[in-house]
Structure 1
Amino acid sequence: MKTTEHNSQPTANSLLFEDVVMQYEYDIQGNLIYVKDPYDRIVFNYRYNLQQAALFTNHIDSGISRVIPDATGKPIEGSDAKDARTLASYDVMQRPVYGWAQNNSNDNLRMVMYSRYGEEATNPITNNLLGKPWEQYDEAGKVEMPDYDFKGNPVTKIRKVISDATLKTELDNYIPFLIDWTNLPDILDGFDYETSNEYDALNRVTRLTLPINVDALRNEIIPTYNRAGALEKVMYDNTEYVTEIAYNAKGQRLLIAFGNNIMTRYVYDNQSFRLLRQRSEKFTQAQQGNTITYSYENGTNRQDDEFNYDLVGNILNIISKVNDCGITGTSDGADKLNRAFTYDPLYRLLSATGRESDTQNQNDYLYADAPIPGSPNATNVRAYTRQYNYDKLGNIQKMQQTASGNSFTRNFTYNPGVNTLQKVDTGGGSLIQDFTYDATGNQLTAGSTRV
């Protein structure tokens, strides 16, 4: 089977209007056997057992992975291209109990997960623990859920973490800490991070009590719901962080009033239901009987964005109208910014306009979009336009920025035969950064920095 995406608007770049053809092959049972990309490379290859479970997967970037299921179809062993391995075991009720893992062939097989269920607890019936997870040891420590309500909702959750002394021993020797719960070693910190929940009849959380803080207090979050079941208010330690949330008949948010007296309103298209405008400003609140009125204050606008879309929903323009959001000296002025976006017929971003700080240029930083200090007002910014080119798979090939005093080009090169990024260089060919990966396609280094 083939699928073809056709770019119907040819340009000077022939790659932009070549057909993107994907090929798929299935076996007699309808299982996907392989996928070929537009360069006629097999990017996925699958093998199945008689239960139609995929036992073997070969991916162009991540290599070969294998899964061995048990008689009921649950995975009991898995491996990947870097010789990482996982094992799992289940109890008689087919619940996961043990999990083992090793990162590679040089690593020992370690128990990284151990679960106990309510039947092993002291008072399983009293605390509604029958059939429920009770204790779980994982790579962060231990989670205990000592009690549930009669509907099966967890009432209390206690988290214990790995002790600082245990972690420090490994770090002092410059080796990563790898958990192994075999024989349940005593490596947990003595402090309990306890979280408590209360629920209503619809199983919604009505009170969330957080773990004890540095002031020896347990803060509370109290959500309130409207008649339709949607979130309406949020209180944190008797302070209203969210005063009101209103919705339309479709369930989309129309208004949210925050405890800091900032209100955001939303407008949607009546037919497509897409967001057309969002506006944030200070408000005053008045109540008469059961009616609460929220009125905005003139001259307190904090956010005002309009959105335009094409027929398939791609954003064409984001028009902002607040003080100092624009660029001084442009036709829109200092208090308006029109960010425009164009796409090719395959809906890939071709160009984008916006503003950036003009106090420092991209040459001072590895990437042009890295955060740089500057005064974010209309007199210390400049306009820019960025254009993007892609290959037939959608991998970005070039990003070119045009801006007064800060124009540059970034070329992206990929490793032969795969889709992993090899390097980024300037338009003149000077290397900016290169990348390395392991056998499964995970990024290992970016330049001289280890990920």
Structure 2
Amino acid sequence: MYSTEIHKRTPSVTVVNNRKLTIRDIQYRRRPDVPQTTEELITRHQYNHLGFLAQSTDPRLYERQQTDRTSKPNLTILTSLTGKTQHTDSVDAGITINLQDIADRPVLTVSAVGTQYALTQTRQYEESTLPGRLLSITESTADNKTKITERLVWADGTKNNKAYNLAGLCVRHYDTAGVNRTDSVALNGTLLSVTRQLLPDDIPADWEGDNVSAWDAQLVSTRYTTQTIADATGAVLTTIDASGNQQRVAYDVAGLLKSSWLALKGKQEQIIVKSLTYSAAGQKLREEHGNGVVTTYSYEPQTQRLIGIKTERPVGHAAGAKVLQDLRYEYDPVGNIVKIINDAEATRFWRNQKVVPENTYTYDSLYQLVSATGREMANLPQQSSTLPSAMIPLPSDDSTFTAYTRTYAYDTGGNLTQIRHSAPATGNNYTTRITVSNRSNRAVLSSLTEDATKVDALFTAGGHQNQLQPGQNLLWTPRGELLKVALVTREGQPSDNEIYRYGADSQRVIKTTTQLTGGNIQTQNTLYLPGLELRTTKNGETEKEKLHVITVGEAGRSQVRVLHWENGKPSEININDQVRYNYDNLIGSSGLEVDGSGNVISQEEYYPYGGTAVWTARNQTEANYKTLRYSGKERDVTGLYYYGYRYYQSWAGRWLSADPAGTVDGLNLFRMVSNNPISFFDTDGREKKSAEEVFDEYKAEHLPEDREFPFRMMAGITDNKLSFSSQQAPQKSMEKIQDMKFTLRHYTSTKESKPPFDELSTNMDLVKKGVKTLKRSSGSNTNDDDWNRLGNTAFTFYLLAIDGEVSDRKFLSNTTHYTEYDLSDTKEINKLFGEGTEFFASPDLLHHKDLSVVKAVKGKLTDLKSLLIAVSGISSVQLTSLKSNPKELLKKIDEKFGNSLEIKIPGNVKVKKWNSKK
């Protein structure tokens, strides 16, 4: 039962100085097992004379500094005069230098400065007479080896390029894995055809010289093309993968997924999602899949938190009616999950012990998980990197399960230091200890070292772990991507290894596993393509298996994968083209696997920080083909979960490397989801703070009339990654369009004759006033990314209009009214927005993972017109022909921002008047 006792008198306190800068974050930690003891944890911040963050120190390292003056702060930053981060010294991630050119574009990046792992990246751009687009990235390592690792080729204005809407776009991106080609683009910017071509496995990327033909000669001849059909709004309707499999989707009137289909190459189309229904708030209520299995969702009326996910074969199903999974969630008042019950399973008794199909969770006053109970298989050993054997076949009762309890301990820096496991009925009792460095948040299992002073030596200078466990070495690319894991090292014989290759976006493209089996080398190779995985297994030079795994992109709550064997289908799997529906839980973990006929293939339950507690399957062969597990991520043979930007070791509850996104989730760069893996999950290895945490951090500084605070908040959350152009167009150019009216429009929808409010309020202000709430586990689409990655929730948003014309946007079809501001009316602008108020303009940032390369503009509102013309690169001659065509001028400006231009203004704004949308 949840108790509020430990939370009494434990406020989160933010201390600001006379410049409204946060200099102290104070938290009070109290644990349920010792409620009488309260720890005060103070995180300290220092700023330079310009008001930019210069230093941050967590409670643990600050305490060490009192006795060891050589101990460094967690983070030390040097910035430019404009606040752009140029030098970062992190005890977790090492030293990084970032330099920008006069246009504020990144030109030089040096990571792991001063060490053998140092990498220097130099970016080359087009000459100033051209749009200034990125042309290449050159990398130099500490041993003076230099390679051009990326080349970008941009399309010119030829007739053929215009026919495929390619003019001005990057049509070839040569990267560390090969080349990505853009073959065709829709008018709204949706990619219609892209092709991936690879380098041979033994050739590293080096695109030297200027001869494109020479670059292409290095590539393997096979091309993998993915094609897309989209509607006028850019919504994808059909996708054809590189093997010719076709996926088709349909949407309802609100633009939400309604149904989806899959047609394997040369086969009849089959339905994947039969129907999906939603509430008025956009929450899923019911979905039915092509196998006839139905999932229903229930929500708590007061909070709209998801409290139930029930998956069943309904009455009339060919396989018989049966509840397959019935998950019930209970929360504490702030949204932490305290209990999960699976009502589809029965309570059993074994060895005089009651084994209940439920999990319970207890937290400290900082909402860190401190204890958990659940059930596990009775024959489980201590959790490690090895996957336990599945129970075959599916059990008819729960007599082979036993109850367990786990407790967790953390230090004052947020490091998980101990996992104590207890299963009294089987005697499966053990403790996993983690040794944390005395100078950073780097840590390893105690089996690698118990000496805190030796931990840092087990990491690279950039914060990448060098050993997984004794005898298993890790090798990293200069970019900080895991390159190789030595699974088994042999003297005089081939070793077992797993090797990876990545693209320009640091996402895995190829995985190759080699193992010595029966005197022969067995090689398993996986190629990752959009919606498709191509897997081959060879024994020596003989191909034993060729498998295509089709990943259905739109399948409702479940992940649907289809296994199609070109060669080597196992006899234990009855049919080729096996459809496997993975039904997940609240954090995306694959718990229930069902085939195309609605029969259970496997069931799996997990420990809180990952790792398998229960795994049952109807046969071992089918079990072997399950790859997606905890949090919906792929589990490699190493035992690591691959998230995208990082690898996760579940048996230690830690990431294998420092967060590439920096301190977006706090000063500890290795901590997993703020030590709350039940209520939160990470999508790609760069977990952010929750919306609640961001709001709590900045709410004391926020004032609706403060037009500078939103920029400070955004800079802090994005680590100053956004670069802003402030270049204005020549006066001669502006004279060409002086009679064209540039306005800003804010749209809204209402059932009333006009909107009932006279002020445009930011999300930050609405939450602070209690008009809006922050929902942590509501099951709906929330705006967490706006809060914790982009930091733009203290801005109001607008569309640009020119002479009454606005760009096409999907959301406009649901709007009824707009308010408009004329940028040429300086008096009115100063009255409504404040004199000298600045804006910033950019594409929709939600669709950009790397903010440092986003085209953005910042300046005074009265200069907006000139700034947008300048950044768009429209010449005076072009403006002459465009001044009578506002729609075309708007289109050209919008294209420079990826056809998603947004104008953001800091703070709340008074409505001038509401206009009905025609």
Q: Which TM bucket (shorter chain)?
A: 0.7 to 0.9
- Aligned pairs for 1:90-105 (under 5 A) are 90-91=125-126, 92-102=130-140, 104-105=141-142
1:448 and 2:476 correspond: no
Number of the residue aligned with 1:47: 78
Structure-2 separation of matches of 1:9 and 1:222: 51
Partner of 1:94: helix, strand, or coil?
coil
In the aligned structure 1, how far is the partner of 2:251 from the partner of 2:88?
46
1:197 is displaced (CA, Å) by 1.0
* Residue of structure 2 in register with 1:354 after alignment: 374
Cα distance 1:386–1:145, how it changes in 2: closer, same or farther (>3 A)?
same
SS in 2 for 1:123: helix
More strand by percentage: 1
Identify which of 44, 47, 66 aligns with 1:23.
44
Q: Which of 220, 234, 239 pairs up with 1:203?
A: 234
Q: Does 2:421 correspond to 1:395? A: no
Amino acid at match of 1:33: A
Q: Distance in 2 between matches of 1:272 and 1:242?
A: 28
Which whole-Å CA distance do the structure 1 matches of 2:51 and 2:153 have between them? 39
Counterpart in the other structure of 1:222: 248
| Partner of residue 57 from structure 1, selected from 84, 88, 108 | 88
Partner of 1:343: 363
In structure 2, stretches of 5+ residues that fail to align are 1-22, 63-71, 264-268, 475-918
Gap change, CA 1:27 and 1:56, over 3 Å in 2: same
User: Could you say which residue in structure 2 is the equivalent of 1:215?
Assistant: none
The residue aligned with 2:902 is none
Could you tell me how far apart the structure 2 residues matched to 1:72 and 1:379 are? Answer: 68
Instruction: Please tell me whether the aligned partners of residues 188 and 232 of structure 2 are also in contact (alpha carbons under 8 angstroms).
Output: no
Q: Is the 8 A contact 1:269 1:275 kept in 2?
A: yes
Aligned pairs for 1:296-315 (under 5 A) are: 299-315=321-337
Kept in 1, the 8 Å contact 2:358–2:375? The answer is: no
> Amino acid of the residue matched to residue 379 of structure 1?
S
Are the equivalent residues in 2 in contact too, given 1:327–1:383 (CA < 8 A)?
no
- The number of residue pairs the alignment matches comes to 414
1:32 counterpart (49, 53, 58):
53
Post-superposition Cα deviations, 1:187-223, rounded to whole Å, max 9, x if no partner, equal 21212211111111221011111113xxxxx111001
Matched, 1:417 2:439: yes
**Amino acid of the residue matched to residue 95 of structure 1?**
R
Question: CA offset at residue 77 of structure 1?
Answer: 0.7
Question: Cα RMSD over matched residues?
Answer: 2.7
- Relative to its length, the structure with more helix (as a share) is 2
SS in 2 for 1:422: strand
- The equivalent residue for 2:303 is 272
The match for 2:260 is: 234
Report the Cα offset of residue 296 of structure 1: 12
SS of the residue 2:361 aligns to: strand
- Distance between the aligned counterparts of 2:325 and 2:138, measured in 1? 51
Conserved 8 A contact 1:70-1:76? yes
Deviations 1:99-156 (A, max 9, x none): 1123x31251111111111217672222211121211111121111122223332221
**CA deviations over 1:231-254 (Å, ceiling 9, x no partner):** 111100111011111111111111
C-alpha contact 2:56 2:74 (8 A) present in aligned 1:
yes
SS at match of 2:97: strand
2: CA distance between counterparts of 1:351 and 1:193?
A: 48
Is the alpha carbon distance of 1:8 and 1:408 closer, same or farther for their aligned partners in structure 2, counting shifts above 3 Å? closer
CA separation in 2, counterparts of 1:260 and 1:21? 54
Is residue 438 from structure 1 mapped to residue 432 from structure 2 by the alignment?
no
User: What is the correspondence of 1:47-446 to structure 2 with a 5 Å cutoff?
Assistant: 47-81=78-112, 82-91=117-126, 92-102=130-140, 104-106=141-143, 108-119=145-156, 123-162=160-199, 166-167=200-201, 170=202, 177-183=203-209, 184-185=214-215, 186-212=217-243, 218-237=244-263, 238-283=269-314, 299-323=321-345, 326-329=347-350, 336-362=356-382, 366=384, 370-374=387-391, 377=395, 378-404=398-424, 405-425=427-447, 436-446=458-468
Counterpart Cα distance in 1 of 2:369 and 2:168? 50
Give TM-score, length-normalised by structure 1: 0.85
**Residue type matched to 1:407 in 2?**
N
**Per the alignment, do residues 197 and 19 of structure 1 end up closer, same or farther by CA in structure 2, a change over 3 Å counting?**
same
What residue number does 1:7 align with?
Answer: 29
- Structure 2 CA distance, aligned partners of 1:121 and 1:264? 52
Q: Percent identity?
A: 23
Aligned mates of 1:119, 1:235 — CA distance in 2: 38
Measured in 2, the distance between the counterparts of 1:155 and 1:331 equals 62
Deviation (angstroms), 1:71: 0.6
- Counterpart amino acid of 2:349? T
CA spacing shift, 1:135–1:150, aligned 2, 3 Å: same
What residue identity is the alignment partner of 2:29?
Answer: N
Q: Alpha-carbon deviation of 1:283?
A: 3.0
Q: Which residue of 2 aligns with 1:291?
A: none
For 2:118, give the aligned amino acid. Answer: D
- Taking a change above 3 Å as real, the CA distance of residues 8 and 436 of structure 1, as seen in their structure-2 partners, is closer
2:279/2:285 contact within 8 Å kept: yes
Counterpart of 1:160, as a letter, is Q
Q: Secondary structure at the match of 1:124?
A: helix
Contact 2:78–2:88 (8 Å) recurs in 1: yes
User: Whole-Å Cα distance in 2 between the matches of residues 284 and 158 of structure 1?
Assistant: 46
CA contact (8 A) 2:166 2:185 kept: yes
What SS does the corresponding residue of 1:125 show, helix, strand or coil? helix
Deviation of 1:258 after TM superposition, in Å, equals 0.7
> Retained in 1: the 8 A contact 2:196–2:225?
yes
8 Å Cα contact 2:247/2:261 also seen in 1 = yes
Please tell me the residue identity of whatever aligns with 1:301.
Answer: V
Residue 79 of structure 1 aligns with an amino acid whose one-letter code is: V
2:391 maps to amino acid: G
| Higher mean C-alpha deviation, range 304-313 or range 153-162 | 153-162
In structure 1, stretches of 5+ residues that fail to align are 171-176, 213-217, 286-294
The 1:421/1:13 distance shift into structure 2, 3 A limit, reads farther
What residue in structure 2 maps to residue 173 of structure 1? none
Change in CA separation of 1:151 and 1:422 when aligned onto 2, cut-off 3 Å: closer
